[in-house]
Amino acid sequence: MSVPYHKELFNSGKVRLFVNLSNIKDDVADETMTMHFYATDSNGLPIFTETLAIDEIRNLYRHLNAISVIKDETSQSAKFIETSDEIDLILNQLKESDLQTILSLLEKFESQEKIKGLLDSLSSLEIENLHGAYHHKLISTEIENLEKLITLEIGGSITKTIRNHEELLKYSAGQPEKIFQNWIEANLWVFGIEYITKHDVRKIALFSEGDILMESVDGYLDLIELKRPTHSILKYDDSHSCYYPHPNLSQVIGQSLFYLQKLSEYKLNLEAEYGLKIIMPRIKIIVGRNIDFNHDQRDCLRMLNSNLQSIKIITYDDLVVFGKLLLKTYETEEAK
């Protein structure tokens, strides 16, 4: 039985709520599918309408699917609240008997006090250990996800093959660059403690939507420019027996220099309108891979980064390496 494209969700006699699925041909949907919600009054006059694109539909599905009382049709949710990822980890690490005990105790707390009651019952050391365990699990999982995304990108058609990996669906998008942008924006810890917040690039019409504006810990603006892992970085010059920037990379560097120029030209306007500090902005270019680089290639990239003022080239393999080094830091702290 196929899913109905049009369905009435609610009818109070005064208000009727409908959902409609569009851009489906011969019971087959693709990335152009949309979901329309609209309501009418008892006379059929429209009250409101809203349309969700495919990524928004997926976000809604994942959110609802995470609530067991909806997903499993149980009489009550197995989760005492709609939990955060950190509380989920706490519950997952408890034995079944412990979980039942805590669920019974939590019945004594008001809804908004449940997390507070749980945390108050734990010692500072227990909270610290759980916090560290949560971040270790988070980083470990996300580094694995990044490696999977890189593998899918190398295999081609990542926008399609990503649909076969449930754990990666939260990053899905219509463009490969956007998939990796989604990963970066969800895992800003990969830049360490260098940045404190991300600004909406769409509000500042100097950049493309593939760029990420970051505010450093000291309150200044930096830019992260994202390209695909399959972009080449270096090319070999047979006549001089040396490596030089590949045209793909040269184009990105040129674009970054243009952005630096625009930041300088619009500095006063941007600072006044958005409250940002713009002094010697830096641009990080996330592009390509270097895992198979030989010594000469690594030396060339090192020299290139050393001589590019205000621009730094970071590969996707560098992000993986940093994540694994961070994991070792957590493991060292746990071993103490």
The answer to whether residues 132 and 330 touch, using CB atoms and an 8 Å cutoff, is yes
Chain mean position to CA 310: 25
Could you say which DSSP state residue 163 is in? G
pLDDT recorded at residue 202: 60
Residue 128: phi, psi to the nearest 5?
Answer: -65, -40
The answer to whether residues 225 and 286 touch, using CB atoms and an 8 Å cutoff, is yes
In order, the DSSP letters of 166-231 are GGGGGG--SSHHHHHHHHHHH-GGGGTTSEEEEE-GGGSTTS-TTEEEEEETTSBEEEEEE--TTS
pLDDT recorded at residue 252: 92
Rounded CA separation 252/88 (Å): 41
User: Listing from the earlier edge strand, what are the strands of the sheet with 28-41?
Assistant: 6-11, 15-25, 28-41, 46-52
The answer to whether residues 56 and 67 touch, using CB atoms and an 8 Å cutoff, is no
pLDDT recorded at residue 303: 95
Predicted confidence (pLDDT) per residue in 78-90, tens digit: 444 444 555 555 5
| Angle, helix 124-155 to helix 176-186, in steps of 10 degrees | 170
Rounded CA separation 258/268 (Å): 17
pTM of the model: 0.63
Residue 21: phi, psi to the nearest 5?
Answer: -100, 130
Rounded CA separation 3/65 (Å): 17
Rounded CA separation 184/224 (Å): 10
What's the mean pLDDT in 41-53? 82
What's the mean pLDDT in 268-293? 87
Give me the residue spans of the domains in the chain. Answer: 175-325
Predicted confidence (pLDDT) per residue in 143-183, tens digit: 999 999 999 999 988 999 999 999 999 999 888 999 999 99
The CA–CA distances, whole Å, from 251 to 193, 280, 303, 319 equal 29, 22, 18, 22
CB atoms within 10 A of CB 95: 8
Residue 55: phi, psi to the nearest 5?
Answer: -65, -35
The mean-pLDDT minimum among 88-97, 169-178, 319-328 falls in 88-97
The answer to whether residues 242 and 298 touch, using CB atoms and an 8 Å cutoff, is no
What's the mean pLDDT in 255-283? 84
pLDDT of 237 above 70: yes
**Predicted confidence band at 120 (pLDDT cuts at 50, 70, 90)?**
low
pLDDT recorded at residue 265: 85
pLDDT of 280 above 60: yes
What's the mean pLDDT in 291-317? 94
Task: Return the structure tokens found at 223.
Answer: 């830019």
The CA–CA distances, whole Å, from 55 to 36, 61, 62 equal 14, 10, 11
pLDDT of 1 above 50: no
pLDDT of 259 above 50: yes
The answer to whether residues 167 and 200 touch, using CB atoms and an 8 Å cutoff, is no
pLDDT recorded at residue 130: 57
The mean-pLDDT minimum among 37-41, 76-80, 146-150, 279-283 falls in 76-80
pLDDT of 306 above 70: yes
